[in-house]
Chains A and B, each alone.
Chain A
């Protein structure tokens, strides 16, 4: 079993940061704070110039990172550093197809595996597009489902994904929302039997930012929640690792409350 495969056996938090943002040192400090707070999976963004699945918060962080000269090899190096510090937490890079296409699927797979990454999320690559490429081998490619994915396709996507299924909870881009969309809960209830049937854990993201959101979603049947923009907002606003750790603890507590 890979580190990623068992990661959501117990409901948990998948936490996203933009790699090397605002710089290497602070990125590692934020990641340490997340691990200390008990996250189940660390998702690390490799900046791409045209992030069409991302809302304003992550776009801002990605643009800042690119302006600072952050390149894919830098983020791979940062992942290796994280792996040294935290031998057990699953690490999943998240990026867009062109970054992988450019470096080459084989090399991307090999270099990230060597750095200690466990999987990969490509926000613009559905399973059909992945099949057209040489694909990833060592890294578990995590595929996404959304409210627009009908049950038939959901079963296909669930079969294709490895590690866990990433459920996009709403129609829209990444970004923290004050309130949980009721349709997100309906979606979780629709996904749960299909994912359970295949023994595939699923985590719900987009618009999730608070402990009570996390609790509701896990109560509805999710095996995890994905939170990114809410952390990046903290980083952009306050630059305080403690605030990032506190938010992660609130989310983890929400998830744990759901089990009680």
Chain B
């Protein structure tokens, strides 16, 4: 076991990451990495972003003590409320920063992939706010399943392009967004939605999401007098988790990432790339993947569309291999039950994604000591999931 690195070298977090891309994208990734470094070193950029976060986004988001959960678990549970940021999810942090960077780079258009539509909606929002044209690539099957979000994107002026290739879901939408970027790399910025993809995306998106962990750390010190003993977050591509973990990486804090266990990681129906996948290369990065014995990438499954991705960010692969973070999985059933648990216990409707983190907390509560401060990132609100909840929970009374 070795210590995790803070920054990738030549795009690699020791072994994971890299830039496995068609040659045409190489120069654009170089340029993007440099632009990001310069922007982060530029006080004016940081101040403009902080201003947007505060005045448009409603940051800082609160760290809410959850007395009901605390009592049941037998530890002091706090929720980092990314559900309260503008748009209803942590996606906001990344898209606003990337849109600001795109404008700084002189780009006039952003493209994005989306699965369930959350990142697409956030990108449409950022495009409208910062005056950039937005085209969102979305699997044709996902468009059918997520018509409300398609409508929201169009309402904010974005074009939604259906992708018919493959299984017509998120993975295919990423493929198509990358193909489009290759064709128009000078004018277009690709606003990737998570800490996945080729360098610099994993470190760039992490830097933009790290506001979650920075606020959390400071608020915990203020409110409890200590840095959290444990931090828990759900992991699909892994952006809210990496945003939570990164500022805590040098602290004595247990970092726990919870993946989508679907029907169970002993079945084929899950999206747990770190827990049950194997190493491979997809969408430009060497990381962990769901794949068959030949290296063909397989379709993930999760009740939560936001976790339904067959790979995971390379920095998480690095944290797994160095042992800096622990990765576990929670099933569909446990996540649904945890959704109801939070609603009934604290009066908060979580998105199905962080409900996986809650499910882990509920099951593993015994692991924590009574005075432990356990912080859980509530990455988004659950309004988008009410139809799924109604169907899955057999709760006729809310129909």
Q: Which residues of A contact B (CB under 8 A)?
A: 48-53, 55-56, 59, 63, 66, 71-72, 96-99, 101-103, 123-126, 128-129, 132, 143-150, 153, 157, 168, 171-173
Contact = CB atoms under 8 A, between A and B. Distances in A.
Given A144-B23, A148-B28, A173-B182, A129 B295 contact: no
B23 A168 contact: yes
B27 A149 contact: yes
Contacts of B268: none
Contacts of B183: 171-173
A217 B334 CA distance: 61
Interface residues of B, number: 38
Given A128-B10, A148-B24, A101 B281 contact: yes
B297 A126 contact: no
B280 to A, nearest CB: 5
19 contacts: A48-B295, A49-B166, A50-B283, A52-B175, A52-B283, A98-B295, A101-B286, A101-B295, A102-B295, A124-B20, A126-B19, A128-B11, A132-B12, A145-B23, A148-B24, A148-B28, A150-B27, A168-B23, A171-B184
Contacts of A56: 165
Given A129-B19, A148-B26, 19 more contacts: A49-B296, A49-B297, A50-B166, A50-B175, A52-B22, A55-B179, A99-B295, A102-B291, A102-B293, A126-B19, A128-B11, A128-B18, A128-B19, A129-B20, A132-B18, A144-B22, A146-B24, A153-B27, A171-B24
Contacts of A102: 280, 291, 293-295
A126 B171 CA distance: 22
A52 B179 contact: yes
B21 interface: yes
Contacts of A149: 23, 26-27
B285 to A, nearest CB: 10
Interface in B147-168: 165-166
A122 B333 CA distance: 41
B178 interface: yes
A97 B297 CA distance: 12
Contacts of A172: 179, 182-183
Given A49-B166, A171-B185, A153 B26 contact: yes
Q: Which 10 A-B pairs have the closest CB atoms?
A: A102-B295, A172-B183, A146-B24, A49-B296, A97-B281, A144-B23, A148-B27, A98-B281, A53-B22, A98-B295
B289 interface: yes
B20 A99 contact: no
B20 A125 contact: yes
Contacts of A53: 22, 179, 182
A124 B20 CA distance: 5
A129 to B, nearest CB: 5
A128 B11 CA distance: 10
A61 to B, nearest CB: 12
A229 to B, nearest CB: 14
A52 B295 contact: no
A49 B165 CA distance: 10
Nearest to A56: B165
A103 B278 CA distance: 12
Contacts of A129: 18-20
B23 to A, nearest CB: 4
B196 to A, nearest CB: 13
B385 interface: no
B212 to A, nearest CB: 30
B280 A98 contact: yes
B372 interface: no
A97 B23 CA distance: 13
B282 interface: yes
Nearest to B18: A129
